[in-house]
Amino acid sequence: MAVAPIIAESFAPLVDLLFPPRCPLCGEAIAEQTGLCAPCWGELVIPGEPFCASCQRPLPGGMPSGGAQCAACLQAPPLHAGIAAGTLYNEASRQLVLKFKHGRKIAMAPMLARLIAGRLPPSENVRIFIPVPLHWTRLWQRGFNQSALLAGELAKLAGGEVLVDGLERVRRTPSLGGLGRRERERTLAGAIRVRGDRRDAIRDAHVVLVDDVLTSGATSHACVKVLKRAGVRSVTIACFARVLTEAVTG
C-alpha cells in the first residue's frame, strides 16, 4: 500500500473531530467527509437504461437498450464516441456544481469524479483525460480549472493519463446562453485549439474530454473537432451534470 493513503487514514479520525463531516449540499451531519446525506443522494438523478448507444441520452421506457439511437444522433451522427454523465442536471446537481466551482469547495472533486467514473464505459485502451480549457483570464480569476480537477481524479479512478494542458482557449468567449446553434459555432470558432507541443502526445490516442456541466454541447463539440483534426483516434465526453430539459423537470 502507498504511504499517502496510510497517512490519510491515520489522520482521518482527527480531521473528523476537528471538522465534523457535513453534507456539502444541505449541511446535515454525515458519516464521512466524502459524500452526501441519504436524502440528498436521493435528490440526484442518475442516468439509467435504456439510453442512446451514441450519446447516452435517456430513451423512453420500453425501448431496447442495445444499439438504439436517439433521433438527434440518427439525424446527425456525433463526432464523439459517447457521453458519460454522472448525473442529469437538476437543482441538486446545480447546487453541487455551484459549491464546487464558485464556492471553491474543491475537496468535492473526488466525489463528483466517482459519479462520472461509474458511467464511463470500460476500455482496453490507455485513455488520456483532457479537461475543457479555461481562458487564462478566467483561470486567473478563479484560481483553478474545475474540469482539470475532475480530469485528474478520473485518471486515478478509471486508469489512464491526464493532460491538463492538452487544449488551450486562446480567446475569451462570452456566455453562450440564449444563442442559436450557428451563433454558438461562430462565437467558438478559433477560440480553442490543441497546444502545439502536445500534438505528438495525443496523436492516435483515445481521449476522454472532461467538463463539469454539459449544456448545449457547443463547447465540447468545438473541443472534439480540434482533437479529431489533431489525429486523436476517439473522444469520449465525460461530465458531472448533463442538461436535458426533456428528461428532468424541477
C-alpha cell at 73: 444522433
Q: How confident is the model at residue 63 (pLDDT cuts 50, 70, 90)?
A: low
pLDDT in tens, 99-142: 999 888 898 999 999 999 999 988 888 999 999 999 999 999 99
Question: Domain for residue 130, yes or no?
Answer: yes
Please answer whether residues 189 and 226 qualify as being in contact, where contact means their C-beta atoms are separated by less than 8 angstroms: no
Q: Could you give the number of structural domains in the chain?
A: 1
Question: Domain for residue 224, yes or no?
Answer: yes
Question: Domain for residue 179, yes or no?
Answer: yes
State how far the alpha carbon of 1 is from the alpha carbons of 6, 64, 160, 214, in Å: 7, 43, 19, 36
Question: Domain for residue 105, yes or no?
Answer: yes
pLDDT in tens, 190-213: 889 999 999 999 999 999 999 999
**Does the structure show a pLDDT above 90 at 162?**
yes
Q: Which range of residues forms the domain containing residue 195?
A: 80-242
Question: Domain for residue 112, yes or no?
Answer: yes
Check which CATH number belongs to the domain holding 146 and give it.
3.40.50
* Percent share of the chain, pLDDT over 70: 85
* Confidence (pLDDT) at 149: 97
187: part of which helix (H) or strand (E)? helix 181-188
**Does the structure show a pLDDT above 90 at 27?**
no
Q: Please give the model's pTM, rounded to 2 decimal places.
A: 0.86
* Confidence (pLDDT) at 26: 86
Question: Domain for residue 137, yes or no?
Answer: yes
Question: Domain for residue 75, yes or no?
Answer: no
State how far the alpha carbon of 82 is from the alpha carbons of 58, 165, 226, in Å: 13, 22, 17
| Pairing assessment for the beta strands 234-242 and 206-214 based on DSSP bridges | parallel
* Mean confidence (pLDDT) of the chain: 85
Please answer whether residues 24 and 105 qualify as being in contact, where contact means their C-beta atoms are separated by less than 8 angstroms: yes
